[in-house]
Structure 1
Amino acid sequence: MSKTNTVRIESLHDWTDDPAQAVAIQKRLREALRIAPLVGEVRYLAAVDTGFTDGGSTARAAVVLYRWPELEPIEQHVAFAPVRFPYVPGLLSFRELPVVLDALACLSLKPDLILCDGQGIAHPRRLGIATHLGLVVDIPTIGVGKSRLTGRHQEPGPEKGAWEPLWDGDERIGTVLRTRTGVKPLYISPGHRVDHQQAVDWTLATIGRYRLPEPIRAADRLASNRGRKPNT
């Protein structure tokens, strides 16, 4: 397999276990993020999520790769690593992203778009896990958050597809999106190399019978599995 067809991980910084250093890294990386329309065809779409085992001491990251537009799962991998960063709201990418990168490195095909269970720019420093991931792998990413980390918004209408912008001051940082009629909305934000409308459109395009996009549901099930450690 050609290296151009697999995920390339950029060495943008060292992985620290110091929260103050992590905040400084986020502020520096923020200057490199791009909120712009996704360019090019999406043939492969991936989703990532992280769970924890061994009483929380081991992180278990899952990636599921789909062929698009069939939304056909074609590959999945799980990676394990010791947890080295403390739980600090706003710094979860330093706790989870190293093992997510290990899982992505197992893919034989490079995704054209990655959905992340977590925030993109809907983050106090605009560097949630989806944005951080997008910068490190230079792949378009979208953050799909189940709850609000920061920002203010009006309540969207009750029907599927209703949405309201998420604001921080005068800056739009995401979208509060109702993905199923009558259920709690999701907090959708661009990660990197995707704009607000595309983030909403891709989320809705991957919704099935449930509140979360199907690829993220699959990654969540794989990441939270408490069975034996698989080889893939």
Structure 2
Amino acid sequence: MEVGEVHAWPSTVEEARDIQDRLRPSLELGDPGPQRPATIAGLDVSYAGDGTGVDRLAAAVVVLDAVTLETVEEAVVAGIAAFPYVPGLFAFRELPTLLEALRRLDTTPGLLVCDGAGLAHPRRFGLACHLGVLTGLPAMGVAKTRLFGRHDQPGPRRGATADLLDDGGEVVGRVLRTQDGTRPVYVSVGHRIDLDTACRHALALSPEFRLPETTRRADRLSRAALRAG
């Protein structure tokens, strides 16, 4: 697939924050987003180190049929973390390799599902936002752990939710129970999708396990690439 023009890569924390500030107004947040996309892509990155140093990594993209959840296409690219580990700027470590993996796809997915945050981010510009703006595609984040915000616990049954709030009480995401009695995941919008639609897709992508199939398969692919390389 084609990826649009990418900004110059930052070398300092100040440059990275300036890029986030410059790109944030490009977010499209009022669009309900794709209701029935033909394909949905999961993106994940695995590290050979602990994720905080100059680590070797592998970025994987797995495209699924949105109805059957069968794998349609996949791509994986090995690389080196492109930026130091700085809280709030983690996307800058992974984006170059993720974008290269997307370029290797023949399929243009109808929706990107990132293993990370979108608006549920201290600077309101997590990985899902950044990828959405750079590719122009609808994008959302499904995080395993809470990066930002506060919330009540959702009910114990599959589909239960609770709002994820910033310090001022603004909704920045939703805590979603994808399976009965399991720990919830943290869903937030990235670009060209609303929160209700994002949560509906996250639940549909998780028919058996806590994590969406998009994340599970991209995680397996990236880990296998590191072991092989």
Q: With structure 2 as the length reference, what TM-score do the two structures score?
A: 0.92
Aligned to 1:222: 221
1:177-200 superposed Cα distances (whole Å, 9 cap, x missing partner): 111111111110011000010010
After superposition, the C-alpha distances for 1:2-36 in whole angstroms (9 at most, x for unaligned) are xxxx2x22225211131121111111211111112
Alignment match, 1:190: 189
Deviation of residue 84 (structure 1)?
2.7
Q: One-letter code of the match for 2:122? A: P
Match for residue 75 of structure 1 among 73, 76, 94: 73
Query: How does 1:149-160 map onto structure 2 within 5 Å?
Result: 149-160=147-158
CA distance, structure 2, for counterparts of residue 121 and residue 29 of structure 1: 13
Which of 4, 16, 21 is the aligned partner of 2:15? 21
Taking the aligned partners of 2:6 and 2:119, their CA distance within structure 1 comes to 18
Number of the residue aligned with 1:92: 90
How many angstroms apart in 2 are the aligned matches of 1:158 and 1:37? 27
Contact 1:17 1:84 in 2 (8 A): no
Q: Distance in 1 between matches of 2:6 and 2:74?
A: 26
Q: CA deviation at 1:78?
A: 0.7
Query: Does residue 161 in structure 1 map to residue 168 in structure 2?
Result: no
- Aligned counterparts of 1:187 and 1:200: Cα–Cα separation in 2: 9
Residues 52-97 of structure 1: CA deviation (Å, up to 9, x unaligned): 2377622210010112212110111110122231111111110011
Q: Which residue of 2 aligns with 1:3?
A: none
How far, CA to CA, are the matches of 1:218 and 1:39 in structure 2? 22
- Runs of 4+ more than 3 Å apart: none
Counterpart of 2:45? 50
Matches of 1:183 and 1:40 in 2, distance apart? 26
User: What code does the residue aligned with 2:108 have?
Assistant: K
**What TM-score comes out, normalization by structure 1 length?**
0.91
1:162 deviates by 0.6
Alignment length, in residue pairs? 223
Q: Secondary structure at the match of 1:227?
A: helix
Deviation string, structure 1 residues 82-113 (Cα, Å, up to 9, x no partner):
22311111111100111000101110010010
Give the secondary structure class of the aligned counterpart of 2:227. Answer: coil
Residue 29 of structure 1 aligns to which amino acid in structure 2? L
Measure the CA separation in 1 of the matches of 2:82 and 2:39. 31
Tell me the residue number matched to 1:123: 121
Give distance in 2, aligned partners of 1:148 and 1:67.
Answer: 28
SS at 1:224's partner residue?
helix
Q: 2:25 aligns with which of 31, 52, 58?
A: 31
1: CA distance between counterparts of 2:152 and 2:78?
A: 39
Q: Which residue is equivalent to 2:208?
A: 209
Q: State the alpha-carbon separation in 2 of the partners of residues 204 and 186 from structure 1.
A: 10
Q: CA–CA distance in 1 between the matches of 2:131 and 2:87?
A: 17
SS in structure 1 of the partner of residue 133 of structure 2:
helix
8 Å CA contact 2:64, 2:73 repeated in 1? yes
Paired with 1:111 and 1:103, the residues of 2 have a C-alpha distance of: 13
Q: How far apart are 1:161 and its partner, in Å?
A: 0.7
Shift of 1:40: 6.8
2:46 aligned partner, one-letter code = G
